């Protein structure tokens, strides 16, 4: 069987192919639990109104779904048709516009009081020029006083992708292999496996991903260059010292 049959990687590198169909079931959606908790805290603290959000790299729409239960509407952008399909299924009864587009250049022609981008989406952008472009684009979509909340992995955080993990049960067998390339500060990850279909047969998929680490100093520069004058960064999971933190939560205000 030709490789492309089970890879189906539409669009540029890091666009999710068949993996999109298994993303939630394979447990990656669990990250949204922590994201949502943190975001809810900020929304309550800063009393975001109107309740409108744009989620860049919205994936399968899990964050938007949870926010919809708290009265939010708005938009999601992702360049993987597979991820957008999943998001459309989940969000069919609520008011969100979904766009299959690159977050670095998407133009939604409207502004939001809240923009988000979570779980390695920024680390998937492979060049500095494009990251810069994305941060500017996110700011462009914020109304005056709006907040851009996102996380990113430092090179130290990206290193955690190194290694091999196997998960196996009656329904699936998944092999995840990552290699960290120190001099480039990036991890190359392959996720492949077999997932049981309704007819009892197993379907093979394979996904290649690249995660590029971004230092706190680099990110501060990107934010400054984009015109953000006020921003704060802290370790995502605990109140880590920044130089020990692998995943950094950032809040930037327009
Ligand atoms: C690890 S997933 C995270 C999805 C979601 N934010 C979450 O927390 O579950 C990364 C997502 O970013 C999307 N992505 C990566 N680079 C992108 C780009 N330049 N433009 C649009 N989407 C992008 C991928 O298609 C994928 O859905």
| CA atoms lying within 13 Å on the CB side of residue 100 | 14
Pocket test for ligand 1, best of 9, 57, 117 (most atoms within 8 A of CB): 57
Q: Determine the average pLDDT of the residues in 70-81.
A: 96
Between CA 128 and CA 137 the distance in angstroms is 14
Protein residue with its CA nearest to atom 26 in ligand 1: 59
DSSP structure class, residue 124: G
pLDDT of 153 strictly over 60: yes
- The pLDDT assigned to 13 comes to 76
Domain covering 28-153+215-253 in this structure, CATH number: 3.40.50.150
- pLDDT 10s digits, 104-127: 999 999 999 999 999 999 999 989
- pLDDT 10s digits, 186-233: 999 999 999 898 999 998 999 999 999 999 999 999 999 999 999 999
Between CA 128 and CA 198 the distance in angstroms is 43
Q: Determine the average pLDDT of the residues in 179-190.
A: 94
Distance 76 CA to ligand 1 centre (A): 10
Burial of 230 (0-12, 13-18, 19+ CB in 10 A): exposed
151 lines ligand 1 (CB under 6 A): no
Burial of 199 (0-12, 13-18, 19+ CB in 10 A): exposed
Ligand 1 atom, smallest distance to 103 CA: 20
Between CA 10 and CA 80 the distance in angstroms is 7
Distance 99 CA to ligand 1 centre (A): 12
C-beta of residue 87 within 8 angstroms of C-beta of residue 61: yes
Sequence-separated (6 or more) residues with CB below 8 Å from residue 186? 158, 180, 210, 211, 212, 213
- On the question of a cis peptide bond just before residue 50, with omega within 30 degrees of 0, the verdict is yes
Distance 87 CA to ligand 1 centre (A): 12
Ligand 1 atom, smallest distance to 20 CA: 27
- The pLDDT assigned to 5 comes to 67
Between CA 63 and CA 196 the distance in angstroms is 26
More confident residue, 235 or 237: 235
Sequence-separated (6 or more) residues with CB below 8 Å from residue 70? 40, 43, 51
Distance 57 CA to ligand 1 centre (A): 4
236 lines ligand 1 (CB under 6 A): no
- pLDDT 10s digits, 156-174: 999 989 999 998 999 899 9
19 lines ligand 1 (CB under 6 A): no
23 lines ligand 1 (CB under 6 A): no
DSSP structure class, residue 197: -
Ligand 1 atom, smallest distance to 117 CA: 6
First and final C-alpha spacing in the chain: 51
Q: Where are the domains of the chain?
A: 28-153+215-253
Distance 3 CA to ligand 1 centre (A): 23
120 lines ligand 1 (CB under 6 A): yes
252 lines ligand 1 (CB under 6 A): no
């Amino acid at each position: 069987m030709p490789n492309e049959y089970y890879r189906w990687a539409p669009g540029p590198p890091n666009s999710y192919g068949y993996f999109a169909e298994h993303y939630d079931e394979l447990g990656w959606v669990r990250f949204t639990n922590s994201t949502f908790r943190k975001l809810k805290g900020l929304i309550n603290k800063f009393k975001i109104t109107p309740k409108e959000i744009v989620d860049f790299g919205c994936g399968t729409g899990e964050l938007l779904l949870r926010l919809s239960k708290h009265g939010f509407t708005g938009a999601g952008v992702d360049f993987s048709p597979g991820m957008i399909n999943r998001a459309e299924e989940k969000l069919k009864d609520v008011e969100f516009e979904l766009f299959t587009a690159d977050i670095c250049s998407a133009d939604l022609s409207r502004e939001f009081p809240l923009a988000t981008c979570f779980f390695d989406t920024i680390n998937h952008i492979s060049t500095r020029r494009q990251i810069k472009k994305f941060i500017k684009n996110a700011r462009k979509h914020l109304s005056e006083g709006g907040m851009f909340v996102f996380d990113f992995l430092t090179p130290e955080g990206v290193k955690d992708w190194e290694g091999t993990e196997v998960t196996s049960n009656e329904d699936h067998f998944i092999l995840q292999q990552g290699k960290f390339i120190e001099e480039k500060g990036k991890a190359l990850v392959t996720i492949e496996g077999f997932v049981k279909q309704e007819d009892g047969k197993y379907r093979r998929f394979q996904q290649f991903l690249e995660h590029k680490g971004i230092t706190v100093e680099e990110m501060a520069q990107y934010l400054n260059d984009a015109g953000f004058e006020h921003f704060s960064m802290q370790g995502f999971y605990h109140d880590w010292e920044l130089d020990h933190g692998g995943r950094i939560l950032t809040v930037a205000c327009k």
